[in-house]
Structure 1
Amino acid sequence: MSENSSSVAQGGSPLRALLEKFYLLCGVLAGVFIVGIAALVMVQVAANAIDRVAQMITGTAIGLMVPSYAEFTGFFLVGASFLALPYAFHHGAHIRVGLVLGRLSAGPTRVMNIVCLLVALGLTSFAGWYAVQLMLDSLEFGDMSSGLVPVPLWVPQAGMALGLIGLAIAVLDDLIVVLAGKTPAFDAIEVDPASSSFER
């Protein structure tokens, strides 16, 4: 967690502390999925190497493999990609094009931030809503993956839904901050990455 976030969590309201923990949890879960992808790849590479050695020695490969390897890495990638969204947004890690904002004074910049955050909130809420509907449909109809190891599709879809809902919460969080006349997290971090005193 950055110094910005940790100071806010310590000195802010209980809701602020809860939001900081939520963003951190999403980031940690995304990291766990990335580690899971690396682990699966390493195990599959090791299995392929053992097979190659066995084939060279005996003339026959053992046939070692991680069942549904490609599907599991795909599911983990979905989890990592979507669950990282709230944490990345809150910590200013998303790419922002500031060609216009960089030339505006404080008042117009605030207005543009509000407009952009409103649009982002609409888009992320829309995507999150339909991600939840997709997950519920998969749960209701018992949809399963088609690999060697069948996995209920609502499980990986839950990570996608949580990530999108979390992103909508992060956008709403910064929208409320900007409407209150304070500095949004992404702006504070861009101005001074080492700062730990921005007001939320």
Structure 2
Amino acid sequence: MNEPNTIDRAMHWVGSISSLFAIVSLALLVILVAAVIVLRQFGIIVPSADEFASIALAGTFTLGLAYAVARNEHIEIRLMVNLMPRPLQFVLGLLAILLSIVMVLVLSWGIGRLWLDAFRRGAMMLGTLPIPRAIPLSVVLTGLILFEAALLLKLFRFVTGRQADEPEAGAANING
């Protein structure tokens, strides 16, 4: 494979940051669940455990999206596309990436507006502890921004011909 260029290095950086955040989020979720289980044996209830768990779970999911794209370890179904001529494969691949970019941009815009509204109003989550609603929204928004960055880098990689033909080892790729 060619030496890494600026796009490859940026993709690696976005994937690494995304991975680090997702790992921290997952570790917090595991610690919280373990604490709830252990403390319940002593009759101690962790206040707002469900809310904290939902934030950590949302973070684990959304923060891991950019990592999957950066490593090319996402699910691709190429069954019919592989049977088409190369120029048509390129057009369909380009359309798929562009559609993904637009969908994530729209979702990020919507979550961003919800975050701004929650931040301005000081809205709180429902639960025992007063947790600002902007916190879980910022976790999800951060994941979506990193995901959008990874998709844009994937687009640059794709149009410059540096797109990897096959995913990294261990990736789910359904080919026909």
Provide TM-score, normalisation by structure 2: 0.87
In structure 1, distance between residues paired with 2:131 and 2:112: 18
**Cα deviation digits, residues 153-181 of structure 1 (max 9, x gap):** 1111011111112212211111122222x
Q: One-letter code of the match for 1:116?
A: A
* Correspondent of 1:159 among 118, 121, 139: 139
Q: One-letter code of the match for 1:132?
A: G
Runs of 5+ consecutive residues of structure 1 not aligned to the other structure: 52-63, 195-200
**Cα deviation digits, residues 12-32 of structure 1 (max 9, x gap):** 22x643442222111111111
Residue 189 of structure 1 corresponds to: 167
Higher relative contact order (CA 8 A, sep 6+): 2
* Correspondent of 1:46 among 38, 42, 50: 38
1:1-200, aligned counterparts within 5 Å?
11-13=4-6, 16-51=8-43, 64-180=44-160, 182-185=161-164, 187-189=165-167, 193=169
In structure 2, distance between residues paired with 1:141 and 1:41: 31
In structure 2, distance between residues paired with 1:46 and 1:173: 44
Which segment drifts farther, 84-93 or 113-122?
A: 84-93
- Contact map agreement 2:14 2:70 (CA 8 A) in 1: no
For the pair shown, the structure with the greater C-alpha radius of gyration is 1
In structure 1, distance between residues paired with 2:10 and 2:73: 21
Provide TM-score, normalisation by structure 1: 0.77
In structure 2, distance between residues paired with 1:16 and 1:143: 40
Runs of 5+ consecutive residues of structure 2 not aligned to the other structure: 171-176
- Contact map agreement 2:55 2:139 (CA 8 A) in 1: no
Q: CA RMSD in A?
A: 2.1
**Cα deviation digits, residues 62-107 of structure 1 (max 9, x gap):** xx11111111001111111111111112222222211112212332
Residue 55 of structure 1 corresponds to: none
Count of residues paired in the alignment: 170
Q: Percent identity?
A: 23
Name the SS of the counterpart of 1:189 in structure 2: coil
Residue 54 of structure 1 corresponds to: none
